[in-house]
Amino acid sequence: MKIIFVKFFDRNPYQRLLADSLEKQGHEVVLLKSIYRFRFLFSLKADVVHLHWPPEFSWELSSMIKLAFFRIWLEVMRVKGTRIVWTVHNLLPHDNRFRRANLNLCRSYASRCDTLICHSALARKVVLRSYRVNPEKVTVTPHGNFIDVYPEGVGRVRFRENRGFSEQDVVVLFFGKIRAYKGLRKFIDSFARSSNTQIRFVVAGSISSESLADELKRFAEREQRLSLEVGYVADSDLRDYFEMADFVALPYESSLTSGAAVLAMSLGKACLATRTAGFESVLDDSGCIFYDSAEVDVLWKQVFECTTSRDMGRANLEKAKQWDWDSIGATTAKAYRRKALEML
């Protein structure tokens, strides 16, 4: 089969790993960062178009033009007999200013697809309830792991020493792009109210807005136990951040699927997480301290008193091993071949 991935993000290894696993099975995969070229409107040919993050609704003129072009292109591909498959990574866009419009748009996408892929049974339930699609169209394929994807770095001890941390410190890491929905404000607020000087909190990643960046910088100026490292983290440094940490924080207010949780598990780290579909579908009590966002203050006492973080990390790594990319590729290819259903 010839498969087109839309839209391709080269900084996230997920799509490249999936493409590699499909190519190992003899399929051809084309990775498109953009389809907004008139020459693509009728020239592209494929057996499957695999959507990952389709365009969202916005009143900005450029966004509306792109959305119109995308929907025309999708219909042209359908007329050609191309199967349309969508992996629903997010129920709605992360920074969602137009909730109702985007929900209707996602329902429209879902109605035009032959198959929807969710990363867990819990996510599938949420998608079925929200998008109102035929259950037979929605299948489950787990999120593949990131084991052995990132290179070794300088190591835990040296990386800690470079930041003034001792081996006795309990280090909690928040890693990845910092957005409002990830709940970092409340999490830092509760951390500031805790009094234990041996807990260190490291926030590493790029920030989605200047106002959020300024707010976090003010937090860091007031709280010496908080280290704010703003900016894109190179792949060569990524493993060291996780090696340094005892726990990875996942304080998200909502999550349908979480590559961040799978990354932490793949690197053998214990987690702190809210109870959302994205986290409860991959983590359990053997590798995670779950908490209610309304009672987050209690969490810091649990973190300091926990003596099994390394055992929890090992449990997460063992669980992540089952999500190997050969299996994920085979399951995804099977989803591509599902019998087409009449569009709702």
Domain ranges of the chain: 2-144+324-336, 156-320
What tokens appear for 56 in the block?
Answer: 């969202």
Q: What is the pLDDT of residue 222?
A: 86
Query: Is there a contact between 2 and 45 (Cβ–Cβ < 8 Å)?
Result: yes
Q: Check residue 11 and give its pLDDT.
A: 84
Q: Cis peptide before 334, with omega less than 30 degrees from 0?
A: no
Domain 156-320 classified CATH 3.40.50.2000?
yes
End-to-end CA distance of the chain: 26
CA 140 to chain centre: 16
The answer to whether the CB of 130 falls within 8 A of the CB of 277 is no
Tell me the pLDDT tens digit for each residue of 269-306: 999 999 999 999 999 999 999 998 777 788 999 999 99
Q: What is the rounded distance in angstroms from the CA atom of residue 308 to the CA atom of residue 312? A: 6
* 165-217 pLDDT tens trace: 999 999 999 999 988 889 888 899 899 888 888 999 999 999 878 888 888 88
Helices (H), the chain: 13-24, 38-43, 61-79, 99-112, 121-131, 156-162, 184-193, 210-222, 235-244, 259-266, 277-280, 299-305, 309-320, 325-336
246 by Cβ neighbours in 10 Å (0-12 / 13-18 / 19+) ranks as buried
Which residues are registered as beta bridge partners of 4? 30, 49
**Whole-number mean pLDDT of the chain?**
91
Q: Read off the pLDDT of each residue in 236-265 and give the average, rounded to a whole number.
A: 95
pLDDT of residue 343: 36
pLDDT at 38: 67
pLDDT tens per residue, range 301-326? 999 999 999 999 999 999 999 999 99
When mean pLDDT is compared across 33-37, 54-58, 76-80, the lowest value belongs to: 33-37
Is 298 within 8 Å of 272 (Cβ atoms)?
no
Q: How many residues does the chain have?
A: 344
Domains 2-144+324-336 and 156-320 share a fold: yes
For range 230-257, the mean pLDDT: 93
What CATH number belongs to 2-144+324-336? 3.40.50.2000
Angle formed by the axes of helices 99-112 and 121-131, nearest 10°? 100
